[in-house]
């Protein structure tokens, strides 16, 4: 088997794993929300959005990695590198937007806010303390 073919197959496998990660994450988020709703454990919606967003983020990261691997596998041309650059930019923007939606801060703000305690670094801490108080 030729090296380029092997790398291409690895890229395709990572693509499939990325899609599976998103699908499994969506199913898990739905099941988790349904169970929490039936047990009346709150908050259901915010946790659903956070779990779903994390699954999508993981899937996007894997899909970006697969695109990079597949682009390197073939002889890179200016066109393929430009297309890869656009894909990575779009997926990076989506990842940052999802991170902002999930945590309420930009990815680079986590390090600065880390001195603020558990609530600054653990998005579940605020949810747990609210559930314990209420």
**Structure confidence at residue 26 (pLDDT):** 96
Q: Is the pTM higher than 0.85?
A: no
Q: By 3-state DSSP, what share of the chain in percent is helix, strand and coil, each rounded to 5? A: 85, 0, 15
In the chain, beta strands by DSSP E: none
**Structure confidence at residue 4 (pLDDT):** 77
- Determine the Cα–Cα distance for residues 18 and 28; give it in Å rounded to an integer: 15
Task: Tell me the pLDDT of the chain (134 aa) as tens digits.
Answer: 787 788 888 989 999 999 999 999 999 999 999 999 999 888 888 889 889 988 998 998 899 888 888 887 776 788 888 888 888 888 888 888 887 877 777 767 765 555 555 444 455 555 555 555 54
Q: Encode 62-89: b = buried (16+ Cβ within 10 Å), e = exposed.
A: bbbebbebbbbbeeeeeeeeeebeeeee
Angle at 7 between CA 5 and CA 13, to 5 degrees: 105
**Structure confidence at residue 33 (pLDDT):** 93
**Structure confidence at residue 118 (pLDDT):** 47
Angle at 41 between CA 39 and CA 46, to 5 degrees: 130
Q: Is the peptide bond before 43 cis (omega within 30 degrees of 0)?
A: yes
């Amino acid at each position: 088997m030729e090296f380029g073919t092997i790398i291409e197959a690895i890229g395709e496998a990572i693509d499939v794993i990325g899609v599976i990660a998103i699908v499994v994450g969506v199913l898990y988020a739905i099941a988790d929300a349904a169970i929490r709703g039936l047990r009346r454990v709150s908050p259901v919606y915010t946790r659903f959005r956070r779990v779903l967003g994390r699954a999508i983020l993981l899937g996007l990261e894997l899909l970006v990695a697969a695109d990079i691997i597949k682009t390197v596998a073939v002889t890179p041309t200016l066109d393929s590198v430009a297309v890869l650059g656009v894909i990575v930019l779009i997926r990076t923007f989506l990842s940052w937007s999802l991170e902002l939606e999930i945590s309420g801060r930009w990815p680079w703000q986590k390090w600065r806010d880390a001195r603020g305690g558990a609530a600054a670094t653990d998005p579940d801490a605020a949810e747990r303390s609210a559930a314990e108080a209420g």
